Amino acid sequence: MKRVLGAHTPALYEQTQVFRIYEHNVVPGLFQTADYTRSMLEFWIRFLSTPNDIEEALAVRVQRQQVIYRPDKRFFVVLEEQALRTWFGSAEVQAGQLDRLLTVMSLPNVSLGIIPLMVERNGVASAGFWIFDDLLVALETPTAGIEVTRPQEIALYVRMFDHMKVSAVYGASARALITRASEETMNGREYG
């Protein structure tokens, strides 16, 4: 079977067995609520003065998210705690997003780690990245998608991901960080 590459192709999501995702300031698209995604896309559309295709983009993302419910797929996700605290939309939107994270992390094929804000660590990544099996690394910038396919470069991202996951907390400790961020979000909503 020929492998179709390209971070935005449905075939890549269908064919990938192991997803390794590191994000430093946003919740990964596969775990986003529609409201969170809408708020984030509204900002980028205004900022970049691009055509408003939010409804189409939301439909594509919702369809793509179905992959996380497939038992043959594995998702290893590491988020910086900052990603829990970067708001897109209202406090209610953010709280809904954090609740969605709590739900998704209970799936048996999802491992979600959070790197606390104030923790000694042995590495710092410069940008968020997604590793699709060991065949492609995708990075998104506001104006471009970057695809890394050279094996020696992919190996560096795999190494970086391994460094990041060592600094993360999992299970009850990760849930506690998400819950605390949600409580602080709702308690501070009048300041947002």
Alpha carbons 41 and 39: distance in angstroms, whole number: 6
Contact call for residues 135 and 28 (beta carbons, < 8 A): no
* Contacts with 12 (C-beta within 8 Å, 6 or more apart), sequence order: 4, 5, 6, 132, 136
Q: Look up tokens 């460094």; give the residue.
A: 163
Handedness of CA 28, 57, 98, 42 (dihedral sign): positive
CA distance 164 to 121: 8
Q: Are 187 and 95 in contact (CB under 8 A)?
A: no
Q: Supply the pLDDT for residue 8.
A: 59
- Low-confidence residues of the chain, pLDDT below 50? 1-6, 190-192
pLDDT at res. 7: 53
**Per-residue DSSP letter, 169:** B
16 Cβ contact list (under 8 Å, min separation 6)? 73, 132, 133
Residue 40 C-alpha from the chain's centroid = 13
Structure tokens at 15: 């064919």
Cα–Cα dist 76/158, whole Å: 12
Q: What is the pLDDT of residue 3?
A: 36
pLDDT the model gives residue 174: 98
The 10 Å Cβ neighbour count of residue 90 is: 14
